Amino acid sequence: MALNQHTAGSLASLLCAEMDGPADIICTGASSIAESKEGDITFMASAKYARCWADCDATIGIVQKEIDVQGHDASSRTLLRVDSPELAMAKVLELFKTSVDIPLEGIHESVVVDSSATIGSKVRIGPNVVIAANAVIGDGAIFCSNVRIGSGCTIGSNTTLRSGVVIEHDCVVGDDCLFHPNVTIGADGFGFCPASDFSSLVKLQHVGNVEIGNCVEIGANSCVDRGKFSSTKIGNGTKLDNLVQIGHNCRIGENCVFAATSAIGGSVQIGNWVQIAANVGIAPHCKVGDGAKIGAKSGVMHDIPAGEEWLGLPAGKMSEVLRQWASTRKLPGIIAQFGRSTDQ
């Protein structure tokens, strides 16, 4: 069978799925249900999308076990019923992912490595990479072109740094991390105070570092500032989207997710399994408890207890904010009614 061709039967085995249709039917790609074509596998996580199955062109569909799919022709197409379509989708997309341009094993001739640096085995280090004094690079690390590793840094095993990533001096990155293009780790935090005569702003030097755990993924053009006195820390398994800013001395827990353009002020403490939607801002020194969720475009100015969902600007408990918004929408009618009553 050609590369990236998979039968319904093999996929059912991979996904531990219940199969409804031919086992030998073949898919050659993955797509959304709206854009699917013959030979594609698609995903239906809710009844809303399952209603589109009869009219789409996909050959194989992955669907939640409990969902009834109307109009399914089991003689020509196959449904794979699973407990979690999202987890199944993750496994299938892994089969169809396209390879990124990674360097060949070894060190490119243009790389500059200080003589005091330690480089592990089976590394792949691409063109124009610079590795400064006393840096330690783990086994199997992949550095694409134009990566710069500062002095005293430690980069864990099997960590991939895409083009243009900069890790400033004395920072620590764990194993199995993935940093997308132009990520900057360990730049100075943002801190200034007025001069005594108020003639200028005096820069506050940041003498700490950044410590990042294992299996952390950071999106393109995101920045994690070094600590003012100690470390800015990101826990194992946390994922940052593109254009995320983490301020100095933050403590980010494990398995958190931050959507694009979120900005976290200095010395914020965030627990484990926290979900932060796009364009959220969190004021310095706030604390966010384990499992909390923050809605898009929220401005957080106070601590958020564990497990709560917050929303709005300024952010508040989501249930209360939604009631306030609903009440606000009624105000024009109330004002108009009040005006009519005073005219009588």
In terms of Cβ atoms closer than 10 Å to its own Cβ (0-12, 13-18, 19+), residue 273 is middle
The alpha carbon dihedral of 102, 104, 109, 113 has a sign of positive
* Residues 245-267: b if buried by 16+ CB within 10 A, e if exposed: bbbbbbbbbbebbbbbbbebbbb
In this predicted structure, what is the pLDDT of residue 16? 96
Q: Give 337's pLDDT tier (boundaries 50, 70, 90).
A: confident
**Average pLDDT of every residue of the chain:** 94
Q: Does residue 1 have a pLDDT over 70?
A: no
3-state SS record for 19-50: EECCCCCEECEECCCCCCCCCEEEEECCHHHH
Express as a percent the part of the chain with pLDDT over 70.
Answer: 97
In this predicted structure, what is the pLDDT of residue 330? 82
Give the mean pLDDT of 253-266: 98
Tell me the pLDDT tens digit for each residue of 172-221.
999 999 999 999 999 999 999 999 999 999 999 999 999 999 999 999 99
DSSP state of 342: H
Give the mean pLDDT of 95-123: 93
In this predicted structure, what is the pLDDT of residue 341? 61
Q: Does residue 3 have a pLDDT over 70?
A: no
pTM: 0.88
Task: Tell the CATH topology of 6-96.
Answer: 3.40.1390
Active site residue 248: yes
In terms of Cβ atoms closer than 10 Å to its own Cβ (0-12, 13-18, 19+), residue 230 is middle
Q: Which of 180, 206, 248, 302 is catalytic?
A: 248
Q: Does residue 100 have a pLDDT over 90?
A: no
DSSP state of 103: P
Tell me the pLDDT tens digit for each residue of 232-245.
999 999 999 999 99
Going from N- to C-terminal start, the domains of the chain cover 6-96, 168-318
> 178: Cβ–Cβ under 8 A, 6 or more apart, which residues?
159, 160, 162, 216, 217, 218
Architecture category of domain 168-318 in CATH: 3 Solenoid (2.160)
Give the mean pLDDT of 249-271: 98
Q: Give 342's pLDDT tier (boundaries 50, 70, 90).
A: low
CA distances from 215 to 51, 92, 236, 272 (A): 37, 20, 6, 14
In this predicted structure, what is the pLDDT of residue 333? 79
- Pair of tokens at residue 288: 């966010």
Tell me the pLDDT tens digit for each residue of 134-151.
999 999 999 999 999 999
Tell me the pLDDT tens digit for each residue of 272-282.
999 999 999 99
